[in-house]
Structure 1
């Protein structure tokens, strides 16, 4: 009798009693879902705030399909490495997209990863001056932590998703093929959902944008260096520069953020236009006439020094590399042309400068008065170190009002209309200015930056008031201290940020020339500028870089080009 050693087939009861395969815990599915959402959001994230809409995230990113195929194909160790590295890369691209959003909102352009890192330090200083040192420190710490967290999370998310795909290889392969076919079909047929193409390649497009900016910047640097060497007036002797302004005290004044929107926007324009009309009439009674037009600024929303240098150099300086190139060059600035004649003393009044300023050499200024050399003992008004009225009075007391052997050419930068436009100074009696301490009460009673900076409507209202203040201070100074030989040229450096001027605002800024001597304005009759301080809507518009040569030629300068 034989005994069977084979295992008997399981009965139905045995099958029912066997333990079930454990299901994945809820936490595991939650982590996987969040990882997928993070990666998809990063892949589809636009680079402009107005584009942050739901329809931007209801698309199929081709990069996700390619990433899934690569993960399914690679062996384990290379797969993990590739997933982590690509996750960090996706995090970097996300940071660049976020920087693009900020730069577009404030400066009207995208972030340049070669040139713009140093502007982040200026942003930190702006936050410190506007919101306080504690907020600035917390903002820096928060930004660093956010960057590190984002880079870590995108790397971990990519590794997590690659592991999930491999763990479910058969289903993942089918899903990847289906997604690829769906993407190709949607792309070929141009199918849309919510007004956006379903087939997306947003991350690849963003990468291409950044790469194009880098290559364009490198090419532009070399081309602009050659351009800056050529100068229409580079070889003109001093005796042939500005002969028709000899004996005049010429003042070039930039008003911070004074743009076309201040004059034409329905919220700001009524108050600013009243101020311009009132000031025009007051100057007329004092014997002055004015002509006004438009210049298209090389910058927008900030980076005022680009507007200043473009106006004075006659070159289009729209980025930091161009600025550095010009500042290190011998290209003739308009202000240096006055110095080159030997017929003027040249002075700069720069209340916004709080550190060394080597640009003084390029601008040809014999003496520069910075924020610490104007005798101000009052409070700061956010970013602005002192009210414009005080800066102008200090200019009168320390420079313009003193006897001298030569006439004076001055460059003055007024800062009271700098964002965040809170608190704003108020005009006081000129005789009461003293050392500026009387502004303590005005500063304390003013609005807080935190109440203005996040509210577009309030920002526009307060911006308009700040322009009214700056124009009033400047024109009252001219009424009070100007002479028959005073020639005032004042203009804006750029439009205010998009939150105030609008997403599609022009880059135009007003410019005015004011003088008592009718011969001065007669020299620019063919410019067809508008009479008064308010340029007409259809007044001529020039690029800001055209002003230097037009001004030099109008006042008798003889071109002698230098070789490029």
Structure 2
């Protein structure tokens, strides 16, 4: 029978009583904002939680046939409003913690009021008892979240979630929903949870003592639930388990995790923080509402297509994460597909057949992700349609919250990652802009290839100021400007350069140094080489392919045409390299051509000191030769970076077998994903020190009478965000080293700094400008 209502608050309709609770919540939040620093994000979150709770309470009252909550229910509504207000304070310290403890204290006092009121007024109902219990459970969950957030001990949330886990278990094991006899110990344990969490939140106990108390409270709670389970088991005649329902619930949860995870996953590896996943994606909100309203077949098709598109966006996000981590740029959906072949070759070269297996597995996972996401979207669409009214109502509420949090508050839990997420929309917009931009860059490159100021220059006019000199261009892998200037790296590298400067000066050398901006970051060394040699910015494989199919004059080809013998030492090359002819390299010494009989050192097939010694033996020390233009690629500082051998006496290097004792503890490539940044950075710096000492020591040890050696030593790119951190840039150091002062006089107008260390504020050139400036200076 429905209860008659009167004009007092205690007997007012449920809707009015809830409205009064909402007014109380609004008043409390209004006070909290200026006094605790709870911003729009927190207030919006509390408001959304309050609105959902109100809707659930109205639904429960309607189903129970209750028109009013009664006097006790009014007290519980007030307590619930305070519990919801506490949501806005989770994780805050200072005034926020004081306010949280005060609100919880009032709520706990009211918890001792509503029960006696219901009994004295004879208004006890099943709805009231359930409402009281759910309010207690919710407050406990919010308190446990606050303690977990402020202590960093996320296991504490088990105190608040255990009851909800018990209720969920009752959905698949109906005997767990049986009536429990009153138990005084259960009431004591329940009260203990609130007291311990409040005391811990207040910070009145030492951390160790407080966490110990929380641990004991959790143990008591587990024991209490265990007793309840045993009692229910004994009281039930049968113990059915709905395995199908459990499987369906698990599958739905996995579908939500997959779709939601893709939507909230940041594309920037710097934002991969757990807090960065706490976001509200507008695509999920609007998608749920649309799928709930579409008819059957249209809903199925729309959901499948949306899921496949979402999976594609997820794969693009993963590609962006990888490219930003290792190359400092986002994945180019037009040009970068060709890099998949390079990735396969790299994995096959480092891991053999296992590398091919990894590539095949990645392809299977990609296809599986598309299929799984499409199926997940279809399942969630069916669920939304089954609960159409609730889905549309919640979607409207969350859309309003998204607008407040996104457009008004612009809230962020992690810098650069908005809580009001629209990554799917942004990704589509980015790719829509990227395609025409890439095509425009291709057209510009084609036009640049067609016009070259050095095209047709007579060979005898090229590089005339360097006639008779040996010129060596030495690339030091992963040698970026940050190694010289970043506080975490400069103390290791600057002394090495100072020591090298002193040694070179003692050997009669001078040096001038500047900075170049590479077109790539973190990888793609061949693109940097192509950029330096061609005088064009070559930032992707597509541009590289178009360059090598042209007749563009490259720096090595200019030397070759002007009479130099051109050679390249590339120890990491393990396959045919037809592009060598385009660049103008007459002789190519790959790994197998250098006579190395020692062990590899991680990725590097041989130590840099051996590479340079082999270059001397095979080229510079040859009798009856002409001037040489040599390109030498030093690989010891290519990731991974451990182990690194010591510098040895050049006279004892021989065929490299002497390096055997130093090759223990080989580091595999996958370690750069598992080691912490400090360890990686330390290994990187050790390898870079070795590379720089090898290169500069080799120059200093050339015969004293050799005034005809000119060395251009430069980095190819930064080592990537795994070492340098985000925002490292793409600048690399470059130095010209020679004993011939006339050569250095030729580049005085470049504004470069004497020595090997340009100042931190040295203005960079584009690496693509080097070819033209070099040719102009010496032709």
TM-score by length of 1: 0.88
Instruction: Return closer, same or farther for 1:188/1:316 CA change in 2, 3 Å cut-off.
Output: closer
TM superposition shift of 1:177 = 4.0
Instruction: Return closer, same or farther for 1:74/1:331 CA change in 2, 3 Å cut-off.
Output: same
Instruction: Return closer, same or farther for 1:198/1:422 CA change in 2, 3 Å cut-off.
Output: closer
* Alignment correspondent of 2:301: 81
- Measure the CA separation in 1 of the matches of 2:616 and 2:662: 23
Instruction: Return closer, same or farther for 1:180/1:463 CA change in 2, 3 Å cut-off.
Output: closer
Instruction: Return closer, same or farther for 1:456/1:134 CA change in 2, 3 Å cut-off.
Output: farther
Instruction: Return closer, same or farther for 1:249/1:190 CA change in 2, 3 Å cut-off.
Output: same
Residue aligned with 2:472, SS: strand
- Measure the CA separation in 2 of the matches of 1:248 and 1:299: 31
CA-based RMSD: 2.4
CA contact (8 A) 2:304 2:378 kept: yes
Alignment of 1:256-295 (within 5 A): 256-295=477-516
* Alignment correspondent of 1:14: none
* Alignment correspondent of 1:349: 569
* Alignment correspondent of 1:153: 372
* Alignment correspondent of 1:547: 770
- Measure the CA separation in 2 of the matches of 1:141 and 1:239: 53
CA contact (8 A) 1:87 1:151 kept: yes
TM superposition shift of 1:67 = 2.1
**Structure 2 residue corresponding to 1:172, chosen from 377, 382, 391:** 391
**Structure 1 residue corresponding to 2:657, chosen from 437, 446, 460:** 437
Instruction: Return closer, same or farther for 1:182/1:264 CA change in 2, 3 Å cut-off.
Output: closer
The number of equivalent residue pairs is: 533
* Alignment correspondent of 1:400: 620
TM superposition shift of 1:200 = 3.3
Instruction: Return closer, same or farther for 1:318/1:188 CA change in 2, 3 Å cut-off.
Output: closer
TM superposition shift of 1:201 = 2.1
TM superposition shift of 1:104 = 0.5
TM superposition shift of 1:138 = 5.7
- Measure the CA separation in 2 of the matches of 1:186 and 1:431: 69
- Measure the CA separation in 2 of the matches of 1:197 and 1:111: 21
Alignment of 1:517-556 (within 5 A): 517-555=740-778
Matching of residue 94 in structure 1 with residue 314 in structure 2: yes
Q: Could you list the per-position Cα deviations for residues 151-205 of structure 1 after superposition, in whole angstroms to 9, with x for gaps in the alignment?
A: 2331221111111122223333444444445545655645636476554322111
* Alignment correspondent of 2:61: none
**Structure 2 residue corresponding to 1:387, chosen from 597, 607, 618:** 607
TM superposition shift of 1:135 = 5.7
- Measure the CA separation in 2 of the matches of 1:433 and 1:204: 59
TM superposition shift of 1:332 = 1.1
Q: Which runs of 5+ in 1 are unaligned?
A: 1-21, 558-564
* Alignment correspondent of 1:17: none
Matching of residue 162 in structure 1 with residue 398 in structure 2: no
- Measure the CA separation in 2 of the matches of 1:366 and 1:309: 16
Instruction: Return closer, same or farther for 1:194/1:278 CA change in 2, 3 Å cut-off.
Output: closer
TM superposition shift of 1:480 = 2.6
TM superposition shift of 1:546 = 1.2
- Measure the CA separation in 2 of the matches of 1:129 and 1:422: 18
TM superposition shift of 1:72 = 3.1
Q: Could you list the per-position Cα deviations for residues 449-480 of structure 1 after superposition, in whole angstroms to 9, with x for gaps in the alignment?
A: 66665221111111111111112112222223
* Alignment correspondent of 2:534: 313
Instruction: Return closer, same or farther for 1:215/1:160 CA change in 2, 3 Å cut-off.
Output: same
- Measure the CA separation in 1 of the matches of 2:358 and 2:751: 49
Matching of residue 359 in structure 1 with residue 582 in structure 2: no
Q: Could you list the per-position Cα deviations for residues 382-415 of structure 1 after superposition, in whole angstroms to 9, with x for gaps in the alignment?
A: 2211111111111111111112352111111111
Matching of residue 508 in structure 1 with residue 731 in structure 2: yes
Matching of residue 117 in structure 1 with residue 340 in structure 2: no
CA contact (8 A) 1:416 1:425 kept: no
CA contact (8 A) 1:396 1:481 kept: no
Instruction: Return closer, same or farther for 1:176/1:535 CA change in 2, 3 Å cut-off.
Output: closer
Instruction: Return closer, same or farther for 1:57/1:258 CA change in 2, 3 Å cut-off.
Output: closer
Instruction: Return closer, same or farther for 1:165/1:267 CA change in 2, 3 Å cut-off.
Output: closer
TM superposition shift of 1:512 = 0.8
TM-score by length of 2: 0.65
* Alignment correspondent of 2:647: 427
* Alignment correspondent of 1:238: 459
- Measure the CA separation in 2 of the matches of 1:258 and 1:188: 42
Matching of residue 143 in structure 1 with residue 362 in structure 2: yes
Matching of residue 51 in structure 1 with residue 274 in structure 2: no
Q: Which has the higher helix share?
A: 2
* Alignment correspondent of 2:55: none
Residue aligned with 1:295, SS: strand
CA contact (8 A) 2:601 2:666 kept: no
Residue aligned with 2:514, SS: strand
My pick for the range that moved more, 178-187 or 421-430, is: 178-187
- Measure the CA separation in 2 of the matches of 1:350 and 1:473: 16
Instruction: Return closer, same or farther for 1:229/1:191 CA change in 2, 3 Å cut-off.
Output: closer
TM superposition shift of 1:294 = 1.0
Instruction: Return closer, same or farther for 1:200/1:54 CA change in 2, 3 Å cut-off.
Output: same
Instruction: Return closer, same or farther for 1:183/1:510 CA change in 2, 3 Å cut-off.
Output: closer
* Alignment correspondent of 1:34: 254
**Structure 1 residue corresponding to 2:290, chosen from 63, 67, 70:** 70
* Alignment correspondent of 2:326: 106
Q: Could you list the per-position Cα deviations for residues 280-310 of structure 1 after superposition, in whole angstroms to 9, with x for gaps in the alignment?
A: 2122222111111111111111001111111
- Measure the CA separation in 2 of the matches of 1:221 and 1:394: 39
Instruction: Return closer, same or farther for 1:456/1:139 CA change in 2, 3 Å cut-off.
Output: farther
Instruction: Return closer, same or farther for 1:513/1:163 CA change in 2, 3 Å cut-off.
Output: same
* Alignment correspondent of 1:8: none
My pick for the range that moved more, 172-181 or 252-261, is: 172-181
Residue aligned with 1:25, SS: helix
TM superposition shift of 1:221 = 1.2
Instruction: Return closer, same or farther for 1:182/1:446 CA change in 2, 3 Å cut-off.
Output: closer
TM superposition shift of 1:366 = 1.4
CA contact (8 A) 2:483 2:490 kept: yes
CA contact (8 A) 1:129 1:382 kept: no
Residue aligned with 2:729, SS: coil
